[in-house]
A and B are shown apart, each in its own frame.
Chain A
Amino acid sequence: MSLSDDLLLNIKAIYARAYVRMKGLTREPHWSIAEVTIPLLSLSAYVYLYITLGAYEYMAFVIVGGAMLAFWSNVLWGMSAQLYWEKDTGMLQHYMLAPASRMAILVGMAVGGMINTTIRSLSILAIGTLLFPVSYALNDPVTLLLVFLLTVIALYGMGMLFASLFLLYGREASHIADLLQEPIYLLSGIYYPVISSNIFPNALKIIASMIPLTLGIDAIRLILITGKGIGDVTLHVTVLAVLAVALPVLARIALRKMEDVSKRQGRLLLRWQ
């Protein structure tokens, strides 16, 4: 089979896997309603807190953070733990058996997740903006789009990396996901500014910057709320671009390692291992 045939096969696999994700959104609309409503309730609590404190300028921060939080939840539960769930349901074996690359399957999951979550995230942003008296000062929509795309690609790259690692850790996957959830909420500044403030010491800020969500939220807030442009978020864009390349590459390496270990140890055979 030629390289172009191989490429076509993997593009078809990506599309097919993304299609499954997107069908899930339309087949079970109540899931989407819950996934929009629950984050709105969480962010509303923070908005009311800032209103109570008279810190009105943070309301838009919270709404943007709440909208981006949808991506983290999806990356953690819809990507990182996904291969593990696929193994439990027996679908992983079908993937391992097919000639399409496993990376194509993961990319398909990521693309489907990105599309679904972007719809949810925009819904949260739109409803939050309608519910609360917030205003935006967007001057550089191109940079906003660039930052958003880089953030999402880096985030899903991280999800793809975790997917392989979670599979290796087997049934501990859900515990790992639980463990990762709250620290990321804390470090990534979903409901408060992190990079552009002095809440955390610099060392912690650097660590937090390794999480694409932190940099992404910070840059999007700067562009969308305070009217900044590409010159003000160059470092954000650079680091996000590096993460957007490095994380999928690391995911590919981890996936190969996972497959090799599984085939040697027979882990793919046993659903509950």
Chain B
Amino acid sequence: MSAVDVIDVTRVFDSKGKKVIALDGINLSISKGEILGLLGSNGAGKTTLIKILATLLLPTSGSSYVYGYDVVKDAKSVRRIINLVSGGETPGYGLLSVKENLWFFSQLYGLRNSDARRVIDTLINDMELEQYRDTRVHKLSTGYKQRLNLARGFINDPMLLLLDEPTLGLDVINARHIRTYIKRWIRDDPSRSILLTTHYLAEAEEVCDKIAIIYRGKIIAYESPDVLKRSLTDSSVVEIKLVNVGKDIDMDSILSRHGLVYEILNGVDDIMHHYTNTNNNSNSNSNEVYGGDGVRIRLVLDDESMIPSIVESLVSKGLKVSSVSKSTPTLEDVYIRYIKRYDP
């Protein structure tokens, strides 16, 4: 028996008389001991799927099972063995302390007071909330509120933990703490499982055993991170660093399908570029550059022989290429590539 089976699930919302298909015949399963990462852009259907598995939303059609329980017909049984933690959500009542809030939630799951005390002590310790044990929740920082929120998610020792962007808006330390904890939680009992949605692909790569990419309500990729990355072995990932990129240089137009470079870049599967603050090339003409910043372009190419012509086109636009290097594919490359296939 899988931890989760989602069979041909569709969810249609009626928005002001207009039908919006949030999920379109989704199929997936999560094995026991597995962390499945669900990736997708905003509105792709990630949260809708999570809410259906959490019994908060009914599917329009299809069935879903959590440890054998039907999420529609056996909703009460499902609720006993799951929990849901979303990023940025309220961790409880602001007037109550950390300890009181955890006790409160423990009672909604029917824990005996002695068990509740033991679980609360463990969670407070694990989440490094000892010094805030008796602090009212409204006085906690965002990071500690989210730690408490995560502790709430573990209060009933769920079999399936649904994590909807759990590290949203957190600093590196808090996010890392949460990632470490959920990995350990699965390792401690391999009959447990986690469904994680995140926009941080490095996070998904670090913690997930399997990745499902959801796009406009459909699963378009469903493999382990390694297998997905290997799917790019026929391609090359190249990083081009540019310096002194003038304000008037519109990289999007150069690299987009409508720009001059489009023709030259024929064969480029995907392009990502972003501005970095690592370059110290600011000079007297710094007003004419992006505050002295450089530009790094990451390209996934079907054919490496395209590199010289791409560089040439950039140079012909007056751009200075500081380096060209090959890189290993990341989950981000895979994600963008899959998305671009469906939305070129």
Listed in ascending order, the chain A residues whose CB lies under 8 Å from chain B are 1, 5, 8-9, 12-13, 15-17, 19-20, 23-24, 27-28, 89-91, 93-100, 105, 263-266, 268-269
Contacts and interface: CB of A to CB of B under 8 A. Distances in A.
Interface centre among A28, A97, A105, A264 (most CB of B within 10 A): A97
B253 interface: no
Given A20-B96, A93-B89, A266-B13, A15 B105 contact: no
A270 B56 CA distance: 12
B281 interface: no
A89 B90 contact: yes
Contacts of A8: 110
B109 A100 contact: yes
Contacts of A264: 58
Contact of B90 (A27, A90, A99, A266): A90
Nearest to B155: A98
Given A20-B95, A99-B79, A99-B110, 8 more contacts: A93-B56, A96-B55, A97-B55, A98-B79, A99-B76, A99-B80, A100-B107, A264-B58
12 contacts: A16-B104, A20-B95, A28-B95, A91-B92, A93-B89, A94-B108, A97-B82, A99-B76, A100-B107, A265-B14, A268-B51, A269-B56
A27 B110 contact: no
Nearest to B89: A90
Contact of A91 (B93, B95, B109, B136): B93
Interface of B: 13-14, 47-48, 51, 54-58, 76, 79-80, 82-84, 89-90, 92-93, 95-96, 100, 103-105, 107-111, 136, 152
Nearest to B84: A97
Contacts of A99: 76, 79-80, 108-110
B108 A24 contact: no
What are the 6 tightest A-B residue pairs by CB atom distance, in nearest-first order? Answer: A16-B107, A9-B110, A98-B108, A90-B90, A99-B79, A12-B107
Contacts of B92: 91, 94
B108 A27 contact: no
Contacts of A90: 89-90
Nearest to B51: A269
A20 B104 contact: yes
Contact of B95 (A17, A24, A95, A98): A24
A90 B109 CA distance: 18
Contacts of A9: 109-110
Contacts of A23: 95-96, 100
B105 A1 contact: no
Interface centre among B55, B100, B108, B109 (most CB of A within 10 A): B108
Contacts of A266: 13, 48, 51, 57
A159 B192 CA distance: 41
B214 to A, nearest CB: 17
Contacts of B57: 263, 266, 268-269
Contact of A263 (B48, B58, B89): B58
Contacts of A17: 104
A94 B57 CA distance: 14
Contacts of A265: 13-14
B90 A97 contact: no
A91 B76 CA distance: 19
A1 B13 contact: no
Contacts of B48: 266
A8 B115 CA distance: 15
A163 B100 CA distance: 25
Nearest to B80: A99
B257 to A, nearest CB: 36
Contact of B108 (A13, A263, A268): A13
Nearest to A93: B56
Given A9-B110, A24-B95, A97 B103 contact: no
A9 B51 CA distance: 23
Contacts of A24: 95
Nearest to B76: A99
A263 B90 contact: no
A100 B108 contact: yes
Given A93-B89, A99-B110, A263 B14 contact: no
A13 B107 contact: yes
B56 A268 contact: yes
B280 to A, nearest CB: 45
Interface centre among B13, B90, B107 (most CB of A within 10 A): B107
